[in-house]
Amino acid sequence: MHIVEIADIITGNGNFTPLDVRSEGEFLQGHIPNAVNVPLLNNEERRQVGICYKQKGNKAAVLLGYELLGGKFASIIREISQLFPHQKITLHCWRGGLRSRIVGQLLENMGFDVYIIQGGYKQYRQWVLKSFDEAFAVKVIGGLTGSGKTELLHLLRASGGQIIDLEGLANHKGSTFGGIEQWPQPTQEQFENNLSQVILQGDRNEAFWIEDESRRIGNICIPLQLWDMMRSSMLYEIELSYAERLNRIMKEYTELPREKLREKTSLLKKRLGDKKLSEILQFLDHGDMKSWAMELLNYYDKNYAFGQDKREAIKRKKINLENKFSVANFLQSLNE
C-alpha cells in the first residue's frame, strides 16, 4: 500500500476518485466532493464498537469490529471492485487508520493498486477550513428583490466568467421562501467542503462573481472569512423598475404550492405585525397573488435598504439594466 498526501487529492493529481470507508452517517455529515462511500462498518455497527471501546478498551472493540464484519468482507470487496474496475484505488477513513488499513489490505490481496490518504478525512477538513483564509477576490452582484441577480450570475458563468453560486451550493434561494421545492440543504460541513472545491477549481488571480447574500442562507452560514470579503468588496447593484421586479417575483413564486407560501408568509409575523400579516394572508387566500407579491416586495425592499446603508458609498456602483437585461450590457456598464 502507498500513502498519498491530501494535497494530491485536493489538486486532482492522478485524477483520483476517493473511496470513503467510513459509516454512511459520517459520510452524510461531510465528505470529500466526488468521493464514493462503501462503509466498512455501518452506523449501528460503528455505534456498538464505540460503546465497546468506552467500556472495555481498544482490543475488545477491534475484536467486536471483526466479529460484526463476519462474512461481509466478500460483499464489500465485490462492491468496490464494481465501482473501481481500473484496479487503482485511493481510500480513507476518519484519520487514515484502522478501517483504511483493513480495506486496503483486502484490496491489495485482490491485486488492486492501493493508496491511503495520509490523515484521512480529518486532514481534509483541516485543509478546507484553512482554505478560506487564502486570498482571492470577489465582485458582488446586488440589487433589490426581483432584480435578477441569480439569473445574471448564471449568465456570467455561461459566458465564461467564474462564479460562486452560494444559493446553488446551499440548495436555498436565500429568502424566507427560498427553501420551497428545493432539495434538502447539505450539512454546514458539506457546504464548506463543496464551497472550497469551487474556489480551488477557479483561478485565484481572477475575481469570482458572487451574489450578495445575508450571512445565513436557510440553515447554512457563509464562512466568516468569505462573508467579510463580500461585505468589503465592490457591490454592483442591478437596477430594474418596480414593475419589472414584480413581474419576476410573480413568475418565480406564485406557481408554488399555496399552503407552503402561507406557511412561510406566517413566519414574518414578528416583523410585519398581526394586522399587516392578516392582510397579506387574505390576499393569498383569495388568490390575489399580485397584491401578496407587492406587499412582500415592499417588505424586502425596506430590509435591503437598511442593510445596504451600512456599506461604504464608494464601494457601491449602480448598474441600470432596465429593458436591457443581458451580460453584455451589464459588463459594458461596469466601466461607464
> 14 with 154, same domain?
no
pLDDT at 288 exceeding the cut of 60:
yes
- Does this model's pTM top 0.75? My answer is yes
Residue 320 has a pLDDT of 93
Q: What is the DSSP letter of 175?
A: S
pLDDT at 157: 95
Q: Is-contact 186 272, C-beta < 8 A?
A: no
Cell of 213: 447574500
pLDDT of residue 312: 67
Does position 16 have pLDDT exceeding 70, yes or no? no
* Segment 96-119 mean pLDDT: 92
pLDDT-derived band of residue 9, with 50, 70 and 90 as boundaries? Answer: confident
Q: Which of 159, 195, 199, 167 is nearest to 183 (CA)?
A: 167
For position 245, what pLDDT does the model report? 94
Instruction: Place 336 in a pLDDT band, splitting at 50, 70 and 90.
Output: confident
Q: Final residue of a domain: which of 91, 107, 129? A: 129
Are residues 57 and 17 part of one domain?
A: yes
Range of the domain at 74: 2-129
User: What letter would DSSP give residue 311?
Assistant: S
Assign residue 166 a region (left: φ > 0; alpha: ψ between -120 and 50; beta: otherwise): alpha
d(CA 93, CA 306): 47
Same structural domain, 24 and 145: no
User: Could you count the other beta carbons within 10 Å of the beta carbon of residue 130?
Assistant: 10
Tell whether 170 and 52 lie within a shared domain.
no
Tell whether the model's pLDDT for residue 14 goes beyond 60: no
Same domain, 250 and 165: yes
Return the percentage of the chain with pLDDT > 70, whole number. Answer: 96
308 pLDDT above the threshold of 90:
no
DSSP alpha helix (H) spans, the chain: 6-10, 24-29, 43-56, 58-69, 72-83, 98-109, 120-131, 149-158, 166-170, 188-201, 224-232, 242-253, 258-266, 269-272, 274-285, 289-308, 327-334
Are 203 and 111 found together in one domain? Answer: no
145-188 confidence digits (pLDDT tens): 999 999 999 999 999 999 999 999 999 998 889 899 889 999 99
In this structure, the answer to whether residues 140 and 283 fall within a common structural domain is yes
- Compute the distance between CA of residue 201 and CA of residue 183 in angstroms, rounded to an integer: 24
Q: Same structural domain for residues 148 and 122?
A: no
pLDDT at 211: 96
pLDDT for the residue 313: 63
- Catalytic choice (32, 41, 80, 93): 93
Task: Report pLDDT digits (tens) over 36-85.
Answer: 999 999 999 989 999 999 999 999 998 998 888 887 888 999 999 999 98
Supply the mean pLDDT for the chain.
Answer: 91
* CA–CA separation, 152 and 231 (whole Å): 20
Q: How confident is the model at residue 7 (pLDDT cuts 50, 70, 90)?
A: confident
Number of domains in the chain: 2
Q: At what angle do helices 289-308 and 258-266 cross, to 10 degrees?
A: 40
Shared domain for 148 and 125, answered yes or no, is no
**Hey, how many other C-beta atoms are within 10 angstroms of the C-beta on 170?**
26
pLDDT at 310: 66
- Which tens digits make up the pLDDT trace of 259-272? 999 999 999 999 99
C-alpha cell belonging to residue 306: 437598511
Is 93 among the catalytic positions? Answer: yes
Q: CATH no. for residue 6?
A: 3.40.250.10
- Distance from C-alpha of 189 to C-alpha of 25, rounded to nearest angstrom: 13
- For residue 160, the model assigns a pLDDT of 93
